[in-house]
Amino acid sequence: MKNKKIYRRAFKSFIIIGMLAINGCFAYHPDTCEVSCCELSTPNKIISLDKAKPSAIIDVCACKSWNESGVTVKKGDKFIFQVKNIIEPWQDGVIQANPHDGWSEDGFLGALAFWKKRSLFMPWYALVGTVGGSGEQTFKPLDYFSEQEPFEVDIEQPQELYFYANDAFRRYFNNQGKLQLIITKINP
Ligand SMILES: [Ca+2]
């Protein structure tokens, strides 16, 4: 009986400490690029992709919660995506990551706090794309690299493509990582 009480108390303490750790680790902080070579206020140029110029190369920074691509798309457009170059290693605080799979280890805190991720069904810190800023059509761009299986836009209104590292909002300040992404329209 006594043991049961001790176990119950220990379990409660464990949960409380866990929740405090999660809240501490995921406390809000203003968006900055304080540990990155990127700057918050450098958008990509407006680019029009067509038959003459089907591809564009844009910069994507992990410390920006929205990377405007400058590319406007419409329903039925098809695209593939490739990383041309990683200019700065893709890293979330002290956690190593890569743009395709996100965190190399989706640790205990990451699993417990999965509901804080912007895109719940994608790995922490993976590169995510969206058509427009509403999250209506969210996708994993680096899964679409083959012309046989391209990403297809399914939103009626023309919208811009955006990209971000899949983090919690207001946790972008400690993000490092800059890459060049090639966007190719395959139905110019
Ligand atoms: Ca972060």
Q: Average pLDDT over the chain, rounded to whole?
A: 87
Rounded to the nearest angstrom, the distance between the alpha carbon of 172 and the centre of ligand 1 is: 5
Q: Say yes or no to pLDDT of 24 above 70.
A: no
Mean pLDDT of 90-118: 87
Place of tokens 């043991």: 3
Rounded to the nearest angstrom, the distance between the alpha carbon of 29 and the centre of ligand 1 is: 10
Q: Say yes or no to pLDDT of 14 above 60.
A: no
- At 99, list the tokens: 């743009």
- Alpha carbon distance 89, 97 (integer Å): 8
Rounded to the nearest angstrom, the distance between the alpha carbon of 166 and the centre of ligand 1 is: 9
Dump pLDDT digits (tens) for 55-100. Answer: 999 999 999 999 999 999 999 999 999 999 999 999 999 999 999 9
Q: Say yes or no to pLDDT of 188 above 70.
A: no
| pTM, entire model | 0.85
| Type of residue numbered 68 | E
Rounded to the nearest angstrom, the distance between the alpha carbon of 55 and the centre of ligand 1 is: 30
Mean pLDDT of 39-65: 92
Rounded to the nearest angstrom, the distance between the alpha carbon of 60 and the centre of ligand 1 is: 15
- The pLDDT confidence band at residue 5, using thresholds 50, 70 and 90, is low
CATH fold for the domain made of 31-185 = Jelly Rolls (2.60.120)
How many other CB atoms sit within 10 Å of the CB of residue 7?
10
- Alpha carbon distance 118, 127 (integer Å): 12
Dump pLDDT digits (tens) for 128-139. Answer: 999 998 888 999
Element (H, E) at 181: strand 175-185
Q: Could you list which residues have their CB under 5 Å from ion ligand 1?
A: 92, 167, 171, 174-175
Rounded to the nearest angstrom, the distance between the alpha carbon of 89 and the centre of ligand 1 is: 14
Q: How far is CA 38 from CA 87, 89, 141, 172, in A?
A: 10, 12, 21, 12
Rounded to the nearest angstrom, the distance between the alpha carbon of 124 and the centre of ligand 1 is: 9
Rounded to the nearest angstrom, the distance between the alpha carbon of 71 and the centre of ligand 1 is: 26
Domain boundaries defined on the chain: 1-29, 31-185
Q: Say yes or no to pLDDT of 17 above 50.
A: no
